[in-house]
Amino acid sequence: MNDVKKIALRFRGFLPVVVDIETAGLNCKTDAILEIATIIINYDIHGKLSLQKSNFCHVLPFVGANLDKEALEFNGIDPYQPLRFAVKELDALNEIFIPINKEVAATGCKRAILVGHNPTFDLNFLRAAVKRCDYKHDPFHKFTTFDTATLAGVALGHTVLAVACQKANIAFSTQDAHSALYDATKTAELFCHIVNNFRFC
């Protein structure tokens, strides 16, 4: 079996892809997506899961999107700051989905599976954007996810990302948190740590 295709066997034909989304609120139907980060997971040469390919987009609020003041204060994002070089939702979906679809095909997987820390939030926002843009090539399974909060609770005894990373000896900066790319990277490192240290019965 080609090394690149082993990931398909490990997860029953699903390619794990870590996703983190920063938003302007909690309602996936009305509130804007502001950042999307994805990290493709694969086997390294040592037979361990590792971070392979990352992608990141600043996203312009869709027309009519709600921008909750408290959410913006929490994540520190100015949606219309010109140096963000933000792109429209459709362009952002193309930017992140095309490499994932290519990797799904290259690894012999059936679909991608979203890995996230409390991933229902990210999946719901992603699916809302797919619907708004009438996007036809969404690579992700419609409802199945891998939740690192649950996995960390079982494996490390804590569900908070920063604390779980600390317990796994993964460096975590609270100053850099709440950036989609940073949070996705730490979630990916945590996922790999837990899976790589799991022992089958």
Note if 46 is an active site residue: no
- Specify whether the CB–CB gap between 30 and 66 falls below 8 A: yes
Place of tokens 């709440």: 178
Half-sphere exposure of 114 (CA within 13 A, CB side): 27
What does 94-151 look like in DSSP terms, one character per residue?
Answer: HHHHHHHHHHHHHTT-SEEEEEESSHHHHHHHHHHHHHHHT-S---EEEEEEEEHHHH
User: Choosing from 46, 141, 178, 193, which is the catalytic residue?
Assistant: 178
**Contact partners, residue 45, CB within 8 Å, separation at least 6:** 3
Place of tokens 């095309």: 98
Neighbours of 13 (CB within 10 A): 15
* Pairwise CA distance, residues 50 & 29, whole Å: 33
- Specify whether the CB–CB gap between 24 and 66 falls below 8 A: yes
Active site residues: 178
